[in-house]
Structure 1
Amino acid sequence: MYEEEVSLSDIDLYSQAIHMYQQMDPEQQRLMMHIVEVVMVDTVSHVFGVIDGSSPLNDSDIEAKLLLDDIDTEGYLQDLFIGYLQEEDLYP
């Protein structure tokens, strides 16, 4: 989708980001996509950590706990996700 032509808008940040990407040389584009991949992996990992209780929510009295068949999953989802990425050589 970053290769498709978009009209540049002063208001739409999405079109501005695509335009910026299209103005980069291939090495800069590769680096930008790598940064996006790292942010996605870190975000999913953190969400799994919050869900399984291994990553606390900042400034919150609420603590999440996920039970699967009455078994606490503390740390399991986040570890499984990172382990899968490493095993499949997908970790950015």
Structure 2
Amino acid sequence: MSEKTDQFVKALYETVVQEGLHTYKEMYEEELSASEVDLYSQAIHMYQQMNAEQQRLMMHMIEVVMVDTVSHVFGVLDGTSPLTDSEMEATVLLDGTDTEMELQDTFIGYLQDEDLYP
């Protein structure tokens, strides 16, 4: 595994998962006006009606979905997971270095090494 791939995976985890989860938590805790009836507002209202343990579980489930999605996208990009009904292959270069077959494994390894897998 290259150092560039390690840096990229860690930065992506921090940006997408950690910062994203923090943003979701803030959004779910903000005040809503009574007139908001769209599905997103209904989900926030549902979250706000939960007790602290239920809210923690909901945020955990969101984190699991985020991590699994990032892992799957990495697999598609690095060639370890094929696209359904497609022969296309992606190539990801980090500063000119091919990441073929490394992104998903590096991401999962990072989560396991740092005890971050939800």
Q: TM-score, normalised by structure 2?
A: 0.67
User: Distance in 2 between the 1:64 and 1:31 partners?
Assistant: 35
Structure 1 residue runs without a partner (length 5+): none
User: Distance in 2 between the 1:72 and 1:32 partners?
Assistant: 33
Structure 2 residue runs without a partner (length 5+): 1-25
- CA RMSD across the alignment: 1.8
After superposition, give the CA deviation of every residue in 1:17-75 in whole Å (9 maximum; x if it has no partner): 1111001111111111111000000000011000000011111121224456565612x
User: Distance in 2 between the 1:67 and 1:4 partners?
Assistant: 39
User: Which structure has more RCO (C-alpha within 8 Å, separation ≥ 6)?
Assistant: 2
In structure 2, the residue matched to 1:28 is 54
Instruction: Please tell me whether the aligned partners of residues 53 and 66 of structure 1 are also in contact (alpha carbons under 8 angstroms).
Output: no
Instruction: Please tell me whether the aligned partners of residues 66 and 72 of structure 1 are also in contact (alpha carbons under 8 angstroms).
Output: yes
User: Distance in 1 between the 2:99 and 2:63 partners?
Assistant: 29
Instruction: Please tell me whether the aligned partners of residues 7 and 15 of structure 1 are also in contact (alpha carbons under 8 angstroms).
Output: no
Percent identity, aligned pairs only?
A: 72
The answer to whether residue 114 in structure 2 is matched with residue 82 in structure 1 is: no
Larger helix fraction of residues: 2
User: Distance in 1 between the 2:57 and 2:42 partners?
Assistant: 18
User: Distance in 2 between the 1:57 and 1:47 partners?
Assistant: 10
Instruction: Please tell me whether the aligned partners of residues 91 and 100 of structure 2 are also in contact (alpha carbons under 8 angstroms).
Output: yes
Instruction: Please tell me whether the aligned partners of residues 91 and 98 of structure 2 are also in contact (alpha carbons under 8 angstroms).
Output: no
Count how many residue pairs are aligned between Structure 1 and Structure 2: 90
The answer to whether residue 100 in structure 2 is matched with residue 73 in structure 1 is: yes
Q: TM-score, normalised by structure 1?
A: 0.84
